Chains A and B, each alone.
Chain A
Amino acid sequence: MRRFKVTVNGHSYEVEVEEEGERPTGARPAHSHATQRHEQVAPPVADSSGPVEQIVAPLPGTVLAVKVTAGQAVESGQVLLVLEAMKMENEIVAPRAGTVKELQARQGQAVNTGDPLLTIG
């Protein structure tokens, strides 16, 4: 696990970055045995000790609505925020269950592809 300080639009954020393979993630356990492999189809469980995952804007647009608050527990597939882009209200959903660690996006904010929106831990 490595820590970085990142400045975006004048706001500075502390980001924890983990290399893949460093240890198993809550979302995709690195199983190697047949007996365990079936578990992968089961919905991932909330794991507050899992690595922090940065959710970024998939395309340039404007944050129309933020649907969660920092510290809130979220399910996999839950709508986190709505990004208006390409004349579409794009729903940004949680890739896995977890807790909203940091909310970086604000309503009305213009974001570019790859800009940080929030982190899930």
Chain B
Amino acid sequence: MDNDRTKDLEHRRQRVLAGGGEARQAKQRQQGKWTARQRLAALYDEGTFQELGMFVEHRSAEFGMDQADAPGDGVVTGFGQVDGRLVYAFAQDFTVLGGSLGEMHARKVHVVQDLALKSGAPIVAMADSGGARIQEGIDSLNGYGEIFRRNTMASGVIPQISVIVGPSAGGAVYSPALTDFVLMAEGIGQMYITGPQVIKAVTGEDVSHEALGGAQTHARKSGVAHLTFVDETALMAGLKRLLGYLPSNNLAQPPAHPAAEPEAGAVQGLDQVVPDDPNKPYDVRQLILGLTDQDSFLELQPAYAQNMVIGFGRLAGRVVAWCANQPRILAGCLDIDASDKLARFVRFADAFNLPLLTLIDTPGYLPGTAQEYGGIIRHGAKVLYAYSEASVAKISVVLRKAYGGAYLAMCSKSLGADLVLALPTAEIAVMGPEGAANIIFRAQIEAAADQDATRKRLVAEYRDRFSSPYVAAARQYVDQVVTAGELRHALIAALWALGEKSEDRPAKKHGNIPL
């Protein structure tokens, strides 16, 4: 080949690889941030990244943009291998025009989004951007809109993961919001619709960027972030771990792993985790750890709506989606936030062929005006909808309390659970023994000389007769009653038996989930 042409190519490559230049990259490092290319290098197996659209240039001449130097137009895009599997990605480059999104920047993103969808591979978005490139006006806005539309088209077909490693403000936050998982780095990633300055101007509130939209805020208060990390090193490791649970697309199975035993410490005393006394709290995650393969449990949204535990794990090497009431938080009640958290996770699992394992111990929906006014009716309905709609293997285990509407909601036989197991401590009933006895035996209690003693006796009678797994088992709302020690074996057998499960749904455009 013509030597000059080779040199010219090399020169062009070097210009793009240098991004916004040494000074801006040094500033990025000073802030504890990585550069776009560092991030991609950390994600991909060495030497596998294929960059696309390296020589893309913007075509804006307004407001001095004809003088602006923008290598790669502020975003690095391409594909490569993550643990040997095809994954597409784009990483915004804050050192080039602040990572701002203009027409051609957006076009590069659209290209990898389209390729990921066509080839059935996950896509990772790394957000580090000042927002819309104002100089490019509505072409920039259109760029966002087309990203959102592609996010939506790809939803439920390929896993989409957003990594927030810089600012993501205004309309830019809606692409992450449309994707399946949002990962944030503490002190680095920030997301909000309107920033501190606008809030100050409009409402007079003083709030810092971090307090408004930092990782802790979205992990604890808003529930927007699924996972947060102390720095980018931890985040990239967490991102790769998350990808390890996900199938490449909706027609594929999740990656299989060699079978492993649970952590020995967690298995010992598994029979003691769920207390016999229905009033005693416990940490349901202890039970999950004793049931899952060692080191395989990955909890999602661990600091948000903690009364519901969701996450991925493996049983004998098979990926499952764990859903569990958490009795030590809010007594394990279902509330608005827990319902939203659970329903979205159930729909993800169903879309991507992950069996649903549901552990039930809930006294009911959280009472109170805040919940009713907040719309617990429509939020709680999402759980019913998501479980009923799901056609993956659905296996439920009643640990202790399963009362009324909350029992139905937590993937009961009535909502289409394939197999329902129960521990001997299970209490499946229309309501708790106290409430039920007070209603059924009201006349008897009121007529009694010693009302308290009579009430206690009748509550105990009711509990003995109805608050057990055997009334439900007699109607086969429960298929098996097992001890906690036998549970892992029973679950592995159930997963194996339902491995080829297939269930059709009526043809429709889409359902109308209560949002």
CB of B367 closer than 8 Å to a CB of A: yes
Q: In chain B, residues 338-358, which have Cβ atoms closer than 8 Å to a Cβ of chain A?
A: none
Question: Given that A40-B230, A88-B281 are contacting pairs, would A30 and B368 also be in contact in the complex, using a CB cutoff of 8 Å?
Answer: no
CB of A31 closer than 8 Å to a CB of B: yes
CB of A32 closer than 8 Å to a CB of B: yes
Q: Which B residues are in CB contact (< 8 Å) with A112?
A: 368
Q: Which B residues are in CB contact (< 8 Å) with A19?
A: 206
Range for the number of chain A residues in contact with chain B: 20 to 34
Contact of B367 among A40, A60, A84, A89 (CB under 8 A): A60
Contact of B363 among A34, A41, A87 (CB under 8 A): A87
CA distance A58 to B206 in the complex (A): 27
Q: Is the CB–CB distance between B368 and A113 below 8 Å?
A: yes
Question: Given that A41-B230, A84-B279, A88-B281 are contacting pairs, would A34 and B368 also be in contact in the complex, using a CB cutoff of 8 Å?
Answer: no
Q: In chain A, residues 83-98, which have Cβ atoms closer than 8 Å to a Cβ of chain B?
A: 84-91
CB of A56 closer than 8 Å to a CB of B: no
CB of B311 closer than 8 Å to a CB of A: no
Q: Is the CB–CB distance between B32 and A89 below 8 Å?
A: no
Q: Which A residues are in CB contact (< 8 Å) with B262?
A: none
CA distance A1 to B432 in the complex (A): 45
Contact of B331 among A38, A86, A113 (CB under 8 A): A86
CA distance A29 to B279 in the complex (A): 37
CB distance from B404 to the nearest CB of A (A): 12
Q: Interface 1/0s, chain B 362-382, versus A by CB < 8 A?
A: 011011101000000000000
Interface size on B, residues (CB 8 A): 33
CB of A3 closer than 8 Å to a CB of B: no
Q: Is the CB–CB distance between B211 and A21 below 8 Å?
A: yes
Q: Which A residues are in CB contact (< 8 Å) with B280?
A: 88-89
CB of B118 closer than 8 Å to a CB of A: no
Q: Is the CB–CB distance between B207 and A88 below 8 Å?
A: no
CA distance A90 to B332 in the complex (A): 10
Q: Which B residues are in CB contact (< 8 Å) with A84?
A: 279
Contact of A91 among B208, B211, B281, B401 (CB under 8 A): B281
Q: Is the CB–CB distance between A32 and B187 below 8 Å?
A: yes
Q: Which A residues are in CB contact (< 8 Å) with B210?
A: 30, 32
CB distance from A109 to the nearest CB of B (A): 18
Q: Is the CB–CB distance between A40 and B207 below 8 Å?
A: no
Q: Interface 1/0s, chain A 91-121, versus B by CB < 8 A?
A: 1000000000000000000001100000000
* Complex: chain A residue closest to B212, CB-CB: A21
CB of A11 closer than 8 Å to a CB of B: no
Q: Is the CB–CB distance between B328 and A89 below 8 Å?
A: no
Question: Given that A28-B216, A41-B230 are contacting pairs, would A58 and B330 also be in contact in the complex, using a CB cutoff of 8 Å?
Answer: yes
CB of B231 closer than 8 Å to a CB of A: yes
Q: Interface 1/0s, chain A 13-30, versus B by CB < 8 A?
A: 000000111000000101
B→A interface (CB under 8 Å): 31-33, 186-187, 206-208, 210-211, 216, 230-231, 278-281, 327-333, 363-364, 366-368, 370, 401, 432, 434
Chosen A-B contacts, 29 in total, with CB atoms closer than 8 Å, are: A19-B206, A20-B208, A21-B211, A28-B216, A30-B208, A31-B187, A32-B31, A33-B31, A35-B32, A37-B32, A37-B187, A38-B231, A40-B186, A58-B330, A59-B333, A59-B368, A86-B330, A86-B331, A86-B332, A86-B333, A87-B363, A87-B401, A88-B331, A88-B332, A88-B363, A89-B280, A89-B281, A90-B281, A90-B328
Known: A34-B31, A87-B401, A88-B331. 10 other contacts (CB 8 A): A30-B211, A37-B186, A37-B231, A38-B230, A59-B331, A86-B333, A86-B364, A88-B279, A88-B281, A113-B370
